Amino acid sequence: MVQLDVEKTLSELDLSEKVAITAGADFWHTVPIPRLNIPEIRCSDGPNGVRGTRFFNGVPAACLPCSTALGSTWNVELLESIGELLGDEARAKGAHVLLGPTINIQRSPLGGRGFESFSEDGVLSGTLAGYYCKGVQSKKVGATLKHFVCNDQEHERLAVDTIVTARALREIYLLPFQLALRICKTACFMTAYNKINGTHVSESRNILEDILRDEWKWKGLIMSDWFGTYSTSDAITAGLDLEMPGPTRWRGSILAHAVNSRKVPDHVLDERVRNVLDLINYADKSGIPEDAEEKELNRPEDQKLLRRAAAESIVLLRNNKSVLPFDKNKPVAVIGPNSKVSTYCGGGSAALLAYYAVTPFEGISKASQADVSFAQGAYAHQSLPPLGPLLKTTSGKKGFDFKVYNEAPGETKGDVLDHLTLVNSTAFLADYKNPKVKSDLFYVDIEGIFTPEEDGLYDFGVTVIGTGKLFVDGELVVDNFTKQKKGFAFFGSATVEERGSKELKAGVSYQIRFEYGTRPTSKLENRGVVDFGPGGFAFGACKRRELQDSIQEAVDLASKTEQVLIVAGLNGEWETEGYDREHMDLPPGTDELISRVLDANPNAAVVIQSGTPVTMPWAHKANVLAQAWFGGNELGNGIADVLYGDVNPSGKLSLSFPVRLQDNPSYINFGSERGRVLYGEDIYVGYRYYEKTELQPLFPFGYGLSYTTFSRTIVSLEVAPEKSTLADGETITATITVANTGKTAGAEVVQLWVKPPVTTGIKRPVRELKGFTKVFLQPGENQDVQITVEKKLATSFWDEIRQSWASVKGEYTILITGTGEDTLSATFEVENTRYWLGL
């Protein structure tokens, strides 16, 4: 790669070449122009790990805790380190641009991709995102802030019109992007799928040019979300530089015609091209070559960082009678559906193949010095668990044989076009390639040997984009060929899971054969806009258990064991890109399991894994309760570290946890209704609503306990003198003495809130988070910490009449909170009402 003279190169490009480089070449790469030494650059998903260029049979990667987990660390230093790790992982995968972080706002617990974003609050989200991007870009890899903006639901996400006031748009939804840019000028932005007030964001000149480029003075590349371009002339003139993925749908000859007919002025196209060339120059400085080989890192220092992040993200919600930490020298019973499952990430484009994943049971077993027993209690899966990892090939390898043919099963198959040994029985074939396979129509035979550990009735399931049949010892057990129904898997393009069952004996080896036909064989009507190429499949199995018998086994175990851990929650099926949850409840049977185990042992520790809030009807019974999120590679070790006190929990909730779904402010306005969604709660999202209405959530935003205690004292509040114009540099600095008053080392999160004056004509939240810091203290240690915020950011609301930020004259109150219920306060004056625009 080489540094381009952008203006000289621009003058040498012909129209067809200019058009070509404003769209992707394929799913992950831009279009090269070898004639002018213009290379391709590679993008790769984030946000919680770098997948590389392959969905199918890809190179494993480091998987971080999900973003709501990282948000709950409230630790900018940790987020910068995480960004550095992602930068190194991107380099290993040959990626010049990382497609993350996601910094949308969780209006509702139901949002399918809520786990991908940091917080319901723009200050927390934008600050953490800024340091995350700073870490990524320190490795010469471009970060991408997404999805710009109001991409806060999955229901009809490509079509829905978000109806939102200018004030809510500015104060809630644009704010995290604005604050992130103050910390790190990212290389890229990615547009949202949705419309805002009638116009798709990728076609909104007001958002892309007027706000992002002109008002915020940001210079970089704006790309569409994948398949999130909906026009030619409108998108180009609005400021969308790059249509992704390729090959193009909207540019090509259509854009050339638009330029020739002067629907798109030449200078506008040149500006789009200029931004692409600038990104190529940015990528060149990374030293990452074109079409680089994808490699694994999995370094010991990375494993250590991921373990720290997993533990630091855990939020201790209740610890009555100081039941935790547990004693490593006493036996422990591990119960629940998430115990022996590595629920390390959510679903959709955030999902990836991890280097490894430590289950909670494995983490506890490794840490314990005594016996560790187990009871399932209930299942949490939506589809049956993947069968692939339980299979062996005829040669004894873990996994199964994957053989590709041109002909369907039952016909003369001819030559095997491809033969792989795979372990993952969930395969998304969008990027499957083999030179012998000439089209999207082909057939796959999958064979493996399954040897169950228990007698019983086993359920088998098959989900496909295409068609499939599953046989056990030659007997057809699952038919997903004859009749098919539309489902939600694979971004909403697959069938529902078809199931069948068969009695199996422990220790007996059974021949599993799965016959798969690719997408062209499907009987479903394809109404999607996304081209998934050959399609995809998933096949799974597990022993059927009678729920009441299984719960009773768990209750019996809990009643005779002093130390009990229940691990339950959701997974990447329940929380995933492509659809929103229908309710906040845990999977069927889970609530009954937890409630009955708590009746048998009230001191059982309940650990919930989910990316967003769930209902907890048994919460009043729980003496010990923690939120562990989707914890990445090291989730099991992170849980064990906190459970046994090797790490003192310091997480604070990045989201409000309502008692029930109906309490959420977006309850009556979530989801697309006749093509639009009304953001009727306006600025009262999350804690702003609960505090304004005095409705007590189950657990509030910013809440979290510790194994130690802290005290806080305001030492001083320094307010810079006012100038005639409210500008950068006019700050408020609070100095607080924080002391660890307990017997255990631990970290305290100090939160600074601002309460506005009572004004007429404008309603404002009771208080808003404006700054925070985290400090680690030994027992008896105290330390002075400072939180500095800009006065304009701390005091302003968006004035829709003036179309600017307004800092209104009056007395404001600083509130300082942290672990415990104590709140400190101090006041300051804004002497004159002033207005401002910009970052």
Q: How far apart are the C-alpha atoms of 111 and 157, rounded to whole Å?
A: 11
Cα distances (Å, whole numbers) of residue 324 to 222, 418, 603, 626, 709: 48, 53, 9, 11, 15
Which tokens in the block code for residue 313?
């993200």
Strands 605-609 and 624-627: parallel
To the nearest 10°, report the CA torsion of 651, 654, 659, 663: 170
Cα distances (Å, whole numbers) of residue 731 to 217, 814, 829: 22, 13, 13
Which tokens in the block code for residue 306?
């991921």
Q: How far apart are the C-alpha atoms of 353 and 63, rounded to whole Å?
A: 8
Q: How far apart are the C-alpha atoms of 819 and 703, rounded to whole Å?
A: 7
Instruction: Determine the length of the chain.
Output: 839
Side by side, the strands of the sheet bearing 676-678 are: 199-200, 195-196, 161-163, 676-678
**8 A C-beta contact, residue 131 and residue 83:** yes
Tell how far CA 402 is from the center of its chain: 31
**8 A C-beta contact, residue 766 and residue 692:** yes
3-state SS, one letter per residue, for 447-492: EEEECCCCCEEEEEEEEEECEEEEEECCEEEEEECCCCCECCHHHH
**8 A C-beta contact, residue 591 and residue 164:** no
Q: How far apart are the C-alpha atoms of 37 and 398, rounded to whole Å?
A: 45
Which one, of 281, 277, 286, lies nearest residue 21 by Cα?
A: 277
Q: How far apart are the C-alpha atoms of 609 and 630, rounded to whole Å?
A: 6
3-state SS, one letter per residue, for 572-606: CCCCECCECCCCCCCCCCHHHHHHHHHHHCCCCEE
Given the residues 88, 121, 161, 225, select the one marked as catalytic. 225
Q: How far apart are the C-alpha atoms of 726 and 444, rounded to whole Å?
A: 66
**8 A C-beta contact, residue 54 and residue 293:** no
Helix (H, G, I), strand (E, B) or coil at 716: strand
Q: H-type helices in 285-386, by residue range? A: 300-313, 360-367
Query: How many Cα atoms are found within 13 Å in the side-chain-facing hemisphere of 632?
Result: 32
Q: How far apart are the C-alpha atoms of 276 and 839, rounded to whole Å?
A: 24
Which tokens in the block code for residue 47?
């946000």
Instruction: Let me know how many helices (H) and strands (E) the chain has, helices first.
Output: 19, 36
Give 19's DSSP letter: H
Q: Is 151 exposed, middle or buried, given 0-12, 13-18 or 19+ CB atoms closer than 10 A?
A: buried
Tokens 């300051």 found at: 828
**8 A C-beta contact, residue 378 and residue 550:** yes
Bridge partners of residue 579, in order along the sequence: 576
Q: How far apart are the C-alpha atoms of 124 and 684, rounded to whole Å?
A: 16
Query: How many Cα atoms are found within 13 Å in the side-chain-facing hemisphere of 779?
Result: 6
Exposure class string for 438-473: b at 16+ Cβ within 10 A, else e = eebebbbbbbbebebeeebebbbbbbbbbbbbbbbe
473 classed as catalytic: no
Which tokens in the block code for residue 412?
């003369």
Which secondary-structure segment (H or E) carries 769?
strand 768-777
Cis peptide before 360 (omega within 30 of 0): no
To the nearest 10°, report the CA torsion of 419, 420, 423, 426: -70
Which residues are catalytic, by number?
Answer: 225
